[in-house]
Amino acid sequence: MNGLGRKRLNIPLINVCESLQTHGSVVAAANELNCSEGYIFGVLKANGLKLKDVISGKGLATKENTLLNRGDRWAKQ
């Protein structure tokens, strides 16, 4: 790599989920995290989560534990 381009955001999954639960909307969470709405959807998709499940908290605790146990790069940061 020659250092060109934008650096990755690498916002931890747990931060994304907490922000979504706190605000209840992708727009507000994206503003708080200083990222795009698409970035949030991409993080959720990469980790097999659905927006409505994260906002409501359904099954999130078990998903986070699974991510932490397998050493997922989003959950560890």
The predicted-structure confidence for 30-68, as pLDDT tens digits, reads as follows 999 999 999 999 999 999 999 999 998 875 655 555 555
For tokens 């200083």, name the residue.
Answer: 34
Lookup: tokens for 39: 């970035």
Asked whether the whole model's pTM tops 0.85, one would answer no
Confidence (pLDDT) at 24: 93
Chain-centre distance for alpha carbon 17: 6
Higher pLDDT among residues 2 and 42, named by residue: 42
Question: Would the pLDDT of 7 be above 90?
Answer: no
Confidence (pLDDT) at 64: 55
Question: Would the pLDDT of 16 be above 90?
Answer: yes
